């Protein structure tokens, strides 16, 4: 079952036209969130990020597309699938069919999907760099468009090489993020993370971790460019995203990290 423009449809009866703009041009954005105990975590943050992304892509936001509507449409699909207590949510918005590179209009359609939520935080988590292709250090890279081919290829590389994840680089050869989340380094009492100007996704959990570290006082948050060389000098490293929360990295190449320091950050964030 999916929610298409507010109507619940069975997947076997729903087909996107061949000239759908998400398929043809990647003219689409998405947001991933989780439902825990019947509540969408950080609902407002997810909604406002989606709205900001739609504005950046010049999509027409309907007047009825309020926070309450956003929440209602998510609950509509979770209830139809009996996933009212726990679910992984994907909310995809794409421009209407019509036109080539230049669309005929900026009106939108949307699909809401819900699946069983599986959270598997690993104790042993190995990463390496993906250097075949780069993320652009520009503003459009900070939003979750459907053009995630670098992430796809990096994930395939990780699978082929027995890794849990890969770290992506931008054209300046700086570390940007992981394939599925933002990256943080711990050095002494400082927590470093790339600024949005490096091209990293404007992650919901990234923002929450930054806010709490800044307000706590135990660690100092520093947004700075991170070279691959700095990974080997870090005491600890972790990844954040809306589904898993915080995932410690145990190994980068021959470097072993102190995962207990990530626990300290998590407790104080």
The 3-state DSSP class for residue 82 equals: coil
pLDDT of residue 267: 67
Instruction: Give the least confident one: 17-26, 68-77, 258-267.
Output: 258-267
Residue 268: pLDDT over 70: no
The 3-state DSSP class for residue 45 equals: helix
pLDDT, tens digit (0-9, with 9 covering 90-100), for 104-131: 999 999 999 999 998 878 899 999 999 9
pLDDT of residue 122: 87
Q: How far apart are CA 126 and CA 231, in angstroms?
A: 13
pLDDT of residue 264: 74
pLDDT of residue 269: 57
Helix H or strand E segment including 217: none
- Give Cα separations from 255 to 4, 160, 177, 236, 265 (angstroms): 47, 20, 18, 10, 20
The mean per-residue pLDDT over the stretch 150-168 comes to: 98
pLDDT of residue 261: 77
Q: Which percentage of the chain shows pLDDT scores above 70?
A: 99
pLDDT, tens digit (0-9, with 9 covering 90-100), for 192-201: 999 999 999 9
The mean per-residue pLDDT over the stretch 53-72 comes to: 97
The mean per-residue pLDDT over the stretch 189-193 comes to: 95
pLDDT of residue 30: 97
pLDDT band, very low/low/confident/very high, at 260 (cuts 50, 70, 90)? confident
pLDDT band, very low/low/confident/very high, at 16 (cuts 50, 70, 90)? confident
Residue 243: pLDDT over 70: yes
Average pLDDT, the chain: 94
The mean per-residue pLDDT over the stretch 176-193 comes to: 96
- Give Cα separations from 198 to 168, 172, 180, 234 (angstroms): 11, 9, 16, 19
pLDDT band, very low/low/confident/very high, at 13 (cuts 50, 70, 90)? confident
């Amino acid at each position: 079952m999916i929610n298409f423009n507010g109507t619940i449809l069975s997947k076997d009866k729903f087909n996107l036209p061949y000239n759908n703009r998400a398929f043809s041009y990647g003219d689409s954005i998405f947001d991933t969130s989780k439902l825990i105990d019947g509540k969408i975590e950080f609902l407002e943050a997810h909604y406002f990020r989606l709205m900001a992304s739609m504005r950046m892509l010049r999509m027409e936001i309907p007047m009825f597309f309020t926070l309450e509507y956003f929440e209602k449409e998510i609950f509509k699909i979770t209830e139809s699938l009996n996933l009212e207590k726990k679910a992984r949510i994907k909310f995809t918005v794409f421009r209407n069919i019509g036109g080539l590179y230049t669309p005929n209009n900026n009106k939108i359609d949307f699909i809401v999907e819900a699946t069983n939520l599986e959270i598997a935080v690993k104790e042993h988590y190995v990463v390496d760099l993906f250097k075949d292709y780069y993320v652009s250090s520009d503003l459009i890279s900070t939003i979750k468009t459907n053009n995630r081919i670098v992430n796809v290829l990096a994930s395939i590389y990780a699978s082929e090489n027995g890794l849990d994840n890969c770290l992506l680089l931008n054209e300046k050869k700086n570390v940007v993020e992981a394939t599925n989340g933002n990256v943080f380094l711990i050095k002494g009492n400082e927590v470093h993370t790339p600024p949005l100007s490096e091209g990293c996704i404007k992650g919901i959990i990234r923002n929450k971790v930054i806010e709490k570290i800044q307000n706590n006082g135990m660690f100092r948050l520093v947004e700075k460019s991170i070279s691959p060389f700095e990974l080997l000098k870090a005491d600890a490293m972790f990844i954040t995203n809306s589904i898993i929360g915080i995932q410690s990295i145990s190994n980068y190449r021959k470097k072993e990290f102190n995962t207990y320091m990530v626990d300290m950050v998590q407790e104080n964030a």
